[in-house]
Chains A and B, each alone.
Chain A
């Protein structure tokens, strides 16, 4: 006897929208990656709610895989960010990469 299921879904939707806003609007590659994390977390919340609604364990198992995918994504993504920063000297997604190493906008 907790809360209605649709409250959980609406909460997850609001979190997902916040993450989407962070991903789309920010001008910093690290913040964009952070927005992706927020979205993954919101999806995980919806899955846990669904697992409780239908009393099935699959939803919780999916969250385990979401966590693993988030960890893999972050490790490769942040390595890429560091590489981009070394090449262009900036984390602005609008900056152009040049093969010479010194990026110019």
Chain B
């Protein structure tokens, strides 16, 4: 058991625990904060798996931007009357069984497959190499993604504008 392996399993346990906490919290602010911890753990896992640039992006975009956006919206909406139960029993059973079947199938398939038993070789893609690779071979995808972000920006702006017009009308 190397230091890498110990770190990996510790981080995996942290990520699973904090994600499970996030999925079951009644208070949405607590859920988002648990998920921030989970994303920090995932960033550590990315680093261990040889992607330091993606680890930085995970912290900046996921934990930094997306979760803070969630926090903004939760504080803006301020739902005082929450449903008395966060799960209904029927839905809990249905969702639990679907997830159990999914997990059983995936873990079974993974264990069945003989490949992937040997240890991963430690390797690292430095940010410079990664950037060269992305802009040399994946430039079209980068352009498409930037268009997608522009569309999302305009879409969010349009939804917000409609909202304001309606509230000034009322």
Contact = CB atoms under 8 A, between A and B. Distances in A.
B16 A52 contact: no
A57 B163 contact: no
B153 A75 contact: yes
B94 to A, nearest CB: 7
B32 A21 contact: no
A98 interface: no
Tell me if A's interface is mostly helix, strand, loop or mixed: helix
Interface residues of B, number: 93
Interface of B: 2, 4-5, 8-9, 12, 15-16, 19-20, 22-23, 28, 31-32, 35, 38-39, 42, 45-46, 48-51, 53-54, 57-58, 61-62, 65-66, 69-70, 73-74, 76-77, 79, 82-83, 85-88, 91-92, 94-96, 98-100, 102-103, 106-107, 110-111, 113, 115-123, 125, 129-130, 133-134, 137-138, 141, 145, 148-149, 151-153, 155-156, 159-160, 162-163, 166-167, 170
8 contacts: A1-B122, A4-B119, A13-B110, A25-B87, A25-B95, A34-B70, A75-B152, A79-B156
